Amino acid sequence: MTELEYLSVEKENEIAIVAIDRQGKLNALNYKMLQELEGVFTDLSQDENLRGVILIGRGNKSFVAGADIEELADLNRQSGRSQSGEGQRVFTLIENFRTPVLAAVNGYALGGGCELALACHLRVASKNAKFGFPEVGLGIIPGFGGTVRLSRVVGFGRAIEMILTGNMITADRAEHFGLVSAVFEPDELLSRSKDFLGSITRHSPQAIQKAIQSLYFAQDSRAIESFIMENDLFGQLTGTEDMKEGVGAFLEKRKPVFKGV
């Protein structure tokens, strides 16, 4: 495994714990982190003894607090579409991973962070977790598969509310929505996540793998077309005046004034 800047991997028996560590930026997702996620999950896929993966953010403030806004500010239509496609591809790699992947969400899981959690097969959260899709406030939409996976997990009505309002929801509300399976105390999140995943990995690994494949096949009849649509629409929005205004307002800590251009 190549040297990692933003991720670490620990093995405990048949479980891998992948930790995101960019705490100075609230574990914000950038292109380098996407590349590292791809490399880590590609390497882990070669481990025949692996029975499951826990994905967690270092620190108690954030799982992943969205995309790196400064990196986002430099996107235009072409690069925006390219970055969206890359994020979709890496997150689909995680979704198609042969063992269960559990997102243990501590703190913020916003935008790309929520999309990353949704790409995992299962999600649990600490009581201080917050979930949301603030992209519309930046003049864009979720671009890493969020418009597809969120409605699949919580239903269309709740998905369109979360994405159009940009409001955050608490861990308890996320559990009510079906976005997470359980909520734990922050200092117990990792240990309880291991127990939760262990209740799955004690079963036949072949049966678990085939069950995941069958469940996702039933959901994915139009997923490819939906990802293509999301990618195209994300690209159309990157580089617009509204996107520049939204990102600029965020960086300048002021309210955006959108003009629809």
> What's the one-letter identity of residue 215?
L
- Of the listed ranges 125-129, 154-158, 236-240, the least confidently predicted one is 236-240
Q: What is the per-residue pLDDT for 234?
A: 86
Q: Give me the chain's average pLDDT, please.
A: 94
Q: What is the per-residue pLDDT for 109?
A: 99
Query: Higher model confidence: residue 170 or residue 260?
Result: 170
- Rounded to whole angstroms, the Cα distance separating 5 from 102 reads 22
Residue ranges and CATH numbers for the domains of the chain are 1-187+204-261 (3.90.226.10)
Q: What is the per-residue pLDDT for 225?
A: 82
User: C-alpha angle 247/174/113, rounded to 5°?
Assistant: 35
Q: What is the per-residue pLDDT for 14?
A: 96
Helices (H), 96-222: 112-119, 146-154, 156-165, 171-177, 189-201, 205-219
145-179: b or e for each residue (b if 16 or more CB lie within 10 Å)?
A: bbbbbbbbbbeeebbeebbeeeebbebeebbebeb
Mind telling me the catalytic residues? Answer: 115, 135
Q: What is the per-residue pLDDT for 221?
A: 63
Work out the percent of the chain whose per-residue pLDDT is above 90: 77
Mean pLDDT of 76-85: 92
Q: Residues 87-108: pLDDT tens digits?
A: 999 999 999 999 999 999 999 9
Q: Residues 201-260: pLDDT tens digits?
A: 999 999 999 999 888 887 766 777 888 888 888 888 888 899 888 889 988 989 999 888
- Rounded to whole angstroms, the Cα distance separating 229 from 147 reads 10
